[in-house]
Amino acid sequence: TQLLEQSPQFLSIQEGENLTVYCNSSSVFSSLQWYRQEPGEGPVLLVTVVTGGEVKKLKRLTFQFGDARKDSSLHITAAQPGDTGLYLCAGAFYNQGGKLIFGQGTELSVKP
């Protein structure tokens, strides 16, 4: 059974601070995605990482995929109130067909 452990579960910071969210598994990911969800809506894709060691940047967001493909991180630089939301990692695993499972989510609140 593959499990995704996401941490921290809650994060409350001031505008301008930096933060990092982590996503780990005991199994090797074939690919990993990060989503952001706002209240009352479905999640929206931020990025997909596939290659071990891969780093992708999306404005102030930096996504990293571990060399062993068992972990990933999302780093936000100079957080803004508009970054507030639920951040979710979602992983696919080898020999699991189309199965895609999510972590528990990180509830981020950025105060002005």
Partner 1 sequence: NAGVTQTPKFRILKIGQSMTLQCTQDMNHNYMYWYRQDPGMGLKLIYYSVGAGITDKGEVPNGYNVSRSTTEDFPLRLELAAPSQTSVYFCAVKGAGGAGTGELFFGEGSRLTVL
Query: Measuring CA to CA, which residue among 81, 77, 99 is closest to residue 31?
Result: 99
Is 22 a binding residue for partner 1 by CB under 8 A? The answer is: no
Tell me the residue type at 11.
Answer: L
The size of the interface with partner 1 (CB under 8 A), counted in residues, is 28
Question: Of 52-60, 62-70, 74-82, 83-91, which segment contacts partner 1 by CB under 8 A?
Answer: 83-91
Q: How far apart are the C-alpha atoms of 75 and 62, rounded to whole Å? A: 5
**19 touches partner 1 by CB under 8 A:** no
Six-digit token pair at 39? 């209240």
Interatomic CA distance for residues 51 and 104, integer angstroms = 23
**Applying CB under 8 A, which of residues 14, 50, 57, 80 lies at the interface with partner 1?**
50
Of 112, 108, 91, 110, the closest CA to residue 37 belongs to 108
Between residues 55 and 78, which has the closer beta carbon with respect to partner 1? 55
Among 34, 35, 63, 65, binds partner 1 (CB under 8 A): 35
Per CB under 8 A, the segment of 11-19, 38-46, 59-67, 70-78 that binds partner 1 is: 38-46
